[in-house]
Structure 1
Amino acid sequence: MIDLHLIGIGTGSPDHLTRAGEAAMRAADVILLPRKRADTADLLDVRLALCDAVVGERGRVAIFDLPARDAAAPYLATIGTWHDAIADAWAKAIARHLPGGGRLALLVWGDPSLYDSTLRITDRLRARGMVLNVTVTPGITSLQALTAAHAIPLNTLGAPVTITTGRRLADDGWPAGVDTLAVMLDGQCAFDTVDPAGVTMWWGAYLGMSQQALAAGPLSEIAADVRTRRAALRTEHGWIMDIYLLRRA
């Protein structure tokens, strides 16, 4: 039996980790951390810093290499294969570090239930016969961090909000009947496909961290600046996590 605890860590700021998340980290026998490409070493460093701050024992931290997704292939056509490869990596790490079972923690950006596939990967492990007792502890989501950073409400009075991805915005356009869009996972600046007339944008990157960057204003006036800034920040840090809100007048 593996007691798997998925802990939301917001954007990586220690302030985004709840007390319940801290308790789960301290209770874990092993905290499993993914390592991506060499140019994204900062991502691992953020998680290691959280472990140092909360647990203070590197001996309880295990690092595994996260398989890369084929970014050149269509997303939905490759995501299943990629998740299978991640499940393989998890299984090998668990067999190595917890061969007799125990308490395993994984630190998840944002919230494990919001545009994250960690729970889907645990389903793959169950399908292979692994006995998992899964507990989820949410953290501060990027949506909360964005609206707080700009001191704005998420919705207008009595109106709905659509949470979507940059890929869906670019492919399907602005959904009908919705005035407010929260857009995540937009690596291609899909806001450039939106008619900017009457649209306000609130953008944020590295929310809650020392390198936090914000911009707000009419989309027609700030789109080019946001595109330039996010490209520069990605080059500087090797990675970027950003989110934005679009609202029609």
Structure 2
Amino acid sequence: MYELNLIGIGTGNPDHVTFQGAKAIRDADLILIPRKGENKADLAGLREEIIAQVTDTSPTVAYFDIPKRRSEDGYLRGVDEWHDAIALRWQEAIAEHPQTEQVALLIWGDPSLYDSSLRIASRLNPYPTTRVIPGITALQALTAAHAIPINDIGAPYVVTTGRRIRDEGWPDGMGKVAVMLDGECSFQSLEMGAYHIWWGAYVGMKEQILVSGPLDAVAAEILDTRARARADHGWIMDIYLLQKRQNGAEAS
């Protein structure tokens, strides 16, 4: 039975990979790399770049295509079926290398934060021994890029999705909210004059773009910048942190 290594690699900057992560990549007999279509070929290329940077030899690499997610049966059921399909792709790729003892998957950010790799791994049959190597999260990279703390002194914050901001609004009792997985720029559903935003795309990469300021002042800039960046690259990964403004005061 092989061991499955889920290795957090940060947000696309090869320097984000930890020494522990680099060692796990070097020790792997087989590295699985997902392909998400021509428009997102850069994502596979970045994984290849990281592998080349931390290894002295050419490890065995197996590519698998990410299946399309169905939406006809509702969001949660569609995600559940999608995870089943991805697990099958993993299993098929690994089965082609029966002598493999150490399998590695390079996970964007960290496997613990809004990533489904652990849930997908649990569907493998038989279930392998699974080891998780932590990585720099997109939230860490965002706050570092803007040189700000995530939370205020003694105060909580929440990490959520764009879908929940749209459907449920601002979470009760929170001064700061980090928003991930938001292809709809859901901050538009909030009262623009009540918030400050720190936004970033391709955070930590050479293509990094940062915008910050009162939401009502910079929302249009973010929308325009995001649309142009996505058109230029064929894909975008972005994240933002929102803070409630106190009586119209600037964020601290």
Fold-level match, TM-score > 0.5? yes
Contact 2:121 2:127 in 1 (8 A): no
> In the alignment, what sits opposite 1:91?
91
What RMSD over aligned residues (CA atoms) do the two structures have, in Å? 1.3
2:226 is equivalent to residue 230 of structure 1: yes
Choose 61-70 or 215-224, whichever is displaced more.
61-70
Structure 2: gaps (5+ residues):
246-252
Choose 105-114 or 192-201, whichever is displaced more.
192-201
Task: Return closer, same or farther for 1:175/1:67 CA change in 2, 3 Å cut-off.
Answer: same
> In the alignment, what sits opposite 1:45?
45
Task: Return closer, same or farther for 1:182/1:219 CA change in 2, 3 Å cut-off.
Answer: same
2:176 is equivalent to residue 177 of structure 1: no
| Structure 2 Cα separation of the partners of residues 198 and 60 of structure 1 | 52
Q: Measure how far apart 1:59 and its partner are.
A: 4.4
Q: Measure how far apart 1:100 and its partner are.
A: 3.2
The SS at the match of 2:12 is coil
Amino acid at match of 1:135: R
Amino acid at match of 1:179: G
Equivalent positions of 1:92-241 (< 5 A) are 92-97=92-97, 99-125=98-124, 128=125, 130-241=126-237
| Structure 2 Cα separation of the partners of residues 13 and 73 of structure 1 | 37
Contact 2:6 2:107 in 1 (8 A): yes
Contact 2:9 2:109 in 1 (8 A): yes
Q: Measure how far apart 1:37 and its partner are.
A: 1.2
| Structure 1 Cα separation of the partners of residues 100 and 108 of structure 2 | 25
| Structure 2 Cα separation of the partners of residues 74 and 10 of structure 1 | 31
The SS at the match of 1:155 is coil
The SS at the match of 2:229 is helix
The SS at the match of 1:188 is coil
| Structure 2 Cα separation of the partners of residues 73 and 39 of structure 1 | 26
Residue by residue over 1:133-168, the C-alpha shift from the partner in whole angstroms, topping out at 9 and shown as x without a partner, is 111011111111000000001011111001000111
Contact 2:29 2:59 in 1 (8 A): no
Residue by residue over 1:82-111, the C-alpha shift from the partner in whole angstroms, topping out at 9 and shown as x without a partner, is 0010011001001012x1341000000010
Aligned structure 1 segments of 4 or more residues deviating by more than 4 angstroms = none
> In the alignment, what sits opposite 1:68?
68
Amino acid at match of 1:159: A
Amino acid at match of 2:232: E
Which TM-score applies when normalising by structure 2? 0.94
Q: Measure how far apart 1:75 and its partner are.
A: 2.2
Q: Measure how far apart 1:48 and its partner are.
A: 0.8
Contact 2:29 2:100 in 1 (8 A): no
Structure 1: gaps (5+ residues):
none
| Structure 1 Cα separation of the partners of residues 164 and 57 of structure 2 | 42
Alignment size in residue pairs? 245
Q: Measure how far apart 1:123 and its partner are.
A: 0.7
| Structure 2 Cα separation of the partners of residues 200 and 62 of structure 1 | 44
The SS at the match of 2:123 is helix
Identity %: 53
Contact 1:51 1:57 in 2 (8 A): no
The SS at the match of 2:99 is coil
Which TM-score applies when normalising by structure 1? 0.95
| Structure 2 Cα separation of the partners of residues 158 and 73 of structure 1 | 42
